[in-house]
Amino acid sequence: MYVQLVNHGVDKSVIEKLRHEVEGFYKLPVEEKLRYKEQPGDYEGYGGTGRLKGRLEWGDRFYMNTNPIHRRKPHLFPELPSSFRESLEVYLEEVQKLAMKLMGLMAKALQTEAKKVEEMMDDGMQSVRITYYPPCPRPELVVGITPHSDASGITILNQVNGVDGLKIVKDGAWLPLTFLPHALVVNVGDILEVFHHSLSLSPPPSPSSIHRFQ
Protein backbone atom coordinates (compact mmCIF):
# COMPACT_ATOMS: atom_id res chain seq x y z
CA MET A 1 0.00 0.00 0.00
CA TYR A 2 1.29 3.43 -0.94
CA VAL A 3 0.27 6.78 0.53
CA GLN A 4 1.46 10.22 -0.57
CA LEU A 5 2.03 12.58 2.35
CA VAL A 6 1.81 16.35 2.03
CA ASN A 7 2.07 18.71 5.01
CA HIS A 8 4.20 15.98 6.58
CA GLY A 9 6.22 18.31 8.78
CA VAL A 10 9.64 17.76 7.20
CA ASP A 11 10.79 21.26 6.30
CA LYS A 12 11.32 21.96 2.61
CA SER A 13 14.74 23.43 3.39
CA VAL A 14 15.84 20.11 4.92
CA ILE A 15 14.76 18.22 1.81
CA GLU A 16 16.29 20.79 -0.53
CA LYS A 17 19.62 20.74 1.30
CA LEU A 18 19.71 16.95 1.13
CA ARG A 19 18.87 17.05 -2.58
CA HIS A 20 21.81 19.37 -3.19
CA GLU A 21 24.17 17.10 -1.23
CA VAL A 22 22.97 13.91 -2.94
CA GLU A 23 23.48 15.47 -6.36
CA GLY A 24 26.93 16.61 -5.28
CA PHE A 25 27.86 13.13 -4.09
CA TYR A 26 26.92 11.50 -7.38
CA LYS A 27 28.94 14.10 -9.28
CA LEU A 28 32.10 13.04 -7.44
CA PRO A 29 34.76 11.19 -9.45
CA VAL A 30 34.22 7.43 -9.47
CA GLU A 31 37.37 6.84 -7.44
CA GLU A 32 35.97 9.07 -4.68
CA LYS A 33 32.66 7.20 -4.57
CA LEU A 34 34.47 3.87 -4.54
CA ARG A 35 35.88 4.76 -1.13
CA TYR A 36 32.45 3.64 0.09
CA LYS A 37 32.10 0.57 -2.11
CA GLU A 38 30.48 -2.64 -0.88
CA GLN A 39 32.90 -4.98 0.85
CA PRO A 40 33.00 -8.68 -0.09
CA GLY A 41 30.15 -10.50 1.63
CA ASP A 42 28.49 -7.25 2.73
CA TYR A 43 25.38 -5.56 1.36
CA GLU A 44 26.12 -2.06 2.67
CA GLY A 45 28.02 0.54 0.70
CA TYR A 46 28.17 2.03 -2.77
CA GLY A 47 27.54 -0.08 -5.87
CA GLY A 48 25.79 -3.33 -6.56
CA THR A 49 23.81 -4.52 -9.57
CA GLY A 50 21.49 -7.37 -10.37
CA ARG A 51 19.78 -8.98 -13.32
CA LEU A 52 16.21 -9.95 -14.10
CA LYS A 53 15.75 -12.27 -17.08
CA GLY A 54 18.83 -10.82 -18.75
CA ARG A 55 18.01 -7.18 -17.97
CA LEU A 56 20.64 -5.31 -16.01
CA GLU A 57 19.73 -3.05 -13.09
CA TRP A 58 20.80 0.42 -14.20
CA GLY A 59 21.67 2.76 -11.36
CA ASP A 60 24.19 3.92 -8.80
CA ARG A 61 23.24 2.89 -5.28
CA PHE A 62 24.44 3.64 -1.78
CA TYR A 63 22.86 1.61 1.01
CA MET A 64 23.72 1.75 4.70
CA ASN A 65 22.29 1.21 8.16
CA THR A 66 22.07 4.57 9.92
CA ASN A 67 20.37 3.89 13.26
CA PRO A 68 20.92 2.84 15.99
CA ILE A 69 24.27 4.58 15.78
CA HIS A 70 26.25 1.51 16.87
CA ARG A 71 25.12 -0.23 13.64
CA ARG A 72 26.83 2.35 11.44
CA LYS A 73 29.81 0.96 9.56
CA PRO A 74 32.87 3.11 10.43
CA HIS A 75 33.95 3.42 6.78
CA LEU A 76 30.53 4.60 5.55
CA PHE A 77 28.35 7.19 7.33
CA PRO A 78 31.11 8.64 9.56
CA GLU A 79 33.38 9.10 6.52
CA LEU A 80 30.91 10.95 4.30
CA PRO A 81 31.78 14.53 3.32
CA SER A 82 30.85 16.64 6.36
CA SER A 83 28.11 18.70 4.67
CA PHE A 84 26.50 15.57 3.22
CA ARG A 85 26.70 13.76 6.55
CA GLU A 86 25.19 16.67 8.46
CA SER A 87 22.33 17.15 5.98
CA LEU A 88 21.57 13.45 5.98
CA GLU A 89 21.64 13.33 9.79
CA VAL A 90 19.04 16.11 10.03
CA TYR A 91 16.83 14.51 7.39
CA LEU A 92 17.01 11.05 8.97
CA GLU A 93 16.07 12.44 12.37
CA GLU A 94 13.01 14.12 10.85
CA VAL A 95 11.80 11.06 8.96
CA GLN A 96 12.42 8.86 12.01
CA LYS A 97 10.03 11.05 14.01
CA LEU A 98 7.56 10.98 11.13
CA ALA A 99 7.79 7.19 10.91
CA MET A 100 6.99 6.76 14.60
CA LYS A 101 4.02 9.09 14.29
CA LEU A 102 2.74 7.12 11.31
CA MET A 103 3.18 3.84 13.17
CA GLY A 104 1.05 5.21 15.99
CA LEU A 105 -1.69 6.21 13.56
CA MET A 106 -1.55 2.81 11.89
CA ALA A 107 -1.90 1.13 15.28
CA LYS A 108 -5.03 3.16 15.89
CA ALA A 109 -6.41 2.20 12.47
CA LEU A 110 -5.67 -1.47 13.24
CA GLN A 111 -7.45 -1.05 16.59
CA THR A 112 -4.45 -2.24 18.57
CA GLU A 113 -2.30 -0.64 21.24
CA ALA A 114 0.32 1.73 19.89
CA LYS A 115 2.97 0.09 22.08
CA LYS A 116 2.51 -3.21 20.23
CA VAL A 117 3.44 -1.55 16.98
CA GLU A 118 6.20 0.46 18.64
CA GLU A 119 7.71 -2.75 20.03
CA MET A 120 8.48 -3.78 16.46
CA MET A 121 10.50 -0.58 16.12
CA ASP A 122 11.91 -0.36 19.64
CA ASP A 123 15.52 -0.64 18.51
CA GLY A 124 15.07 2.36 16.21
CA MET A 125 16.37 0.36 13.24
CA GLN A 126 16.71 2.65 10.24
CA SER A 127 18.51 2.35 6.93
CA VAL A 128 18.83 4.58 3.90
CA ARG A 129 19.17 3.76 0.23
CA ILE A 130 20.25 6.60 -2.04
CA THR A 131 19.90 5.80 -5.72
CA TYR A 132 20.71 7.68 -8.90
CA TYR A 133 19.31 6.42 -12.20
CA PRO A 134 21.38 7.99 -15.01
CA PRO A 135 20.10 8.23 -18.58
CA CYS A 136 20.62 4.98 -20.48
CA PRO A 137 21.30 4.74 -24.24
CA ARG A 138 19.60 1.30 -24.41
CA PRO A 139 16.66 1.44 -21.98
CA GLU A 140 15.08 -1.69 -23.45
CA LEU A 141 17.98 -3.72 -22.02
CA VAL A 142 17.82 -2.45 -18.45
CA VAL A 143 15.53 -1.85 -15.49
CA GLY A 144 16.05 0.68 -12.70
CA ILE A 145 15.50 -1.91 -10.00
CA THR A 146 13.90 -5.34 -10.17
CA PRO A 147 10.36 -5.93 -8.82
CA HIS A 148 10.38 -6.33 -5.05
CA SER A 149 8.60 -5.61 -1.80
CA ASP A 150 10.29 -3.85 1.12
CA ALA A 151 11.41 -5.99 4.09
CA SER A 152 10.64 -3.22 6.56
CA GLY A 153 7.90 -1.75 8.72
CA ILE A 154 7.45 1.25 6.48
CA THR A 155 9.54 2.89 3.77
CA ILE A 156 9.51 6.66 3.27
CA LEU A 157 10.46 7.67 -0.26
CA ASN A 158 11.80 11.08 -1.21
CA GLN A 159 12.18 11.86 -4.91
CA VAL A 160 14.71 14.64 -5.25
CA ASN A 161 13.98 15.53 -8.87
CA GLY A 162 10.95 15.58 -11.14
CA VAL A 163 11.76 12.40 -13.07
CA ASP A 164 9.17 9.73 -12.26
CA GLY A 165 10.14 6.06 -12.40
CA LEU A 166 8.35 4.29 -9.57
CA LYS A 167 5.74 1.72 -10.62
CA ILE A 168 3.47 -0.45 -8.50
CA VAL A 169 1.68 -3.62 -9.52
CA LYS A 170 -2.08 -3.86 -9.08
CA ASP A 171 -4.35 -6.51 -10.54
CA GLY A 172 -1.43 -7.81 -12.58
CA ALA A 173 -0.62 -4.48 -14.25
CA TRP A 174 2.27 -2.09 -13.61
CA LEU A 175 1.02 1.43 -12.86
CA PRO A 176 3.21 4.55 -12.69
CA LEU A 177 3.21 6.59 -9.49
CA THR A 178 3.67 10.32 -9.95
CA PHE A 179 4.90 12.17 -6.88
CA LEU A 180 2.90 15.20 -5.80
CA PRO A 181 4.95 18.38 -5.30
CA HIS A 182 6.90 18.28 -2.01
CA ALA A 183 5.29 14.96 -1.07
CA LEU A 184 6.87 12.00 0.66
CA VAL A 185 5.59 8.59 -0.38
CA VAL A 186 5.04 5.97 2.32
CA ASN A 187 5.07 2.26 1.49
CA VAL A 188 3.82 -0.33 3.96
CA GLY A 189 6.55 -2.97 4.17
CA ASP A 190 6.47 -6.72 4.68
CA ILE A 191 6.82 -6.54 8.48
CA LEU A 192 3.72 -4.39 8.92
CA GLU A 193 1.80 -6.47 6.38
CA VAL A 194 2.56 -9.62 8.40
CA PHE A 195 1.66 -7.83 11.65
CA HIS A 196 -1.68 -6.77 10.18
CA HIS A 197 -2.30 -10.30 8.95
CA SER A 198 -1.58 -11.75 12.40
CA LEU A 199 -4.07 -9.35 13.99
CA SER A 200 -6.92 -9.72 11.54
CA LEU A 201 -6.39 -13.30 10.33
CA SER A 202 -7.22 -11.87 6.94
CA PRO A 203 -6.17 -13.38 3.59
CA PRO A 204 -2.48 -13.02 2.70
CA PRO A 205 -1.38 -9.47 1.83
CA SER A 206 -2.18 -8.37 -1.70
CA PRO A 207 0.72 -7.81 -4.11
CA SER A 208 -0.11 -4.11 -4.47
CA SER A 209 3.00 -3.18 -2.46
CA ILE A 210 5.31 -4.90 -4.95
CA HIS A 211 7.10 -2.23 -6.94
CA ARG A 212 9.96 -1.46 -9.29
CA PHE A 213 11.76 1.48 -10.86
CA GLN A 214 11.67 1.64 -14.63
The pLDDT score that the predictor gives to residue 164 is 73
The pLDDT score that the predictor gives to residue 33 is 95
What residues in the chain have per-residue pLDDT under 70? Answer: 48-55, 113-123, 141-153, 189-214
How crowded is residue 38: how many other Cβ atoms within 10 Å of its Cβ? 17
Query: Measured between alpha carbons, how far is 1 from 209 in angstroms, rounded to an integer?
Result: 5
Domain locations along the chain: 2-213
Helix (H) or strand (E) holding 128: strand 126-132
Please tell me whether residue 105 adopts helix, strand or coil conformation: helix
The pLDDT score that the predictor gives to residue 118 is 65
The pLDDT score that the predictor gives to residue 5 is 92
Query: Measured between alpha carbons, how far is 184 from 182 in angstroms, rounded to an integer?
Result: 7
**What's the mean pLDDT when you consider all of the chain?**
79
The pLDDT score that the predictor gives to residue 45 is 95
Query: Measured between alpha carbons, how far is 169 from 203 in angstroms, rounded to an integer?
Result: 18
The pLDDT score that the predictor gives to residue 141 is 66
> Which CATH code fits 2-213?
2.60.120.330
pTM of the model: 0.79
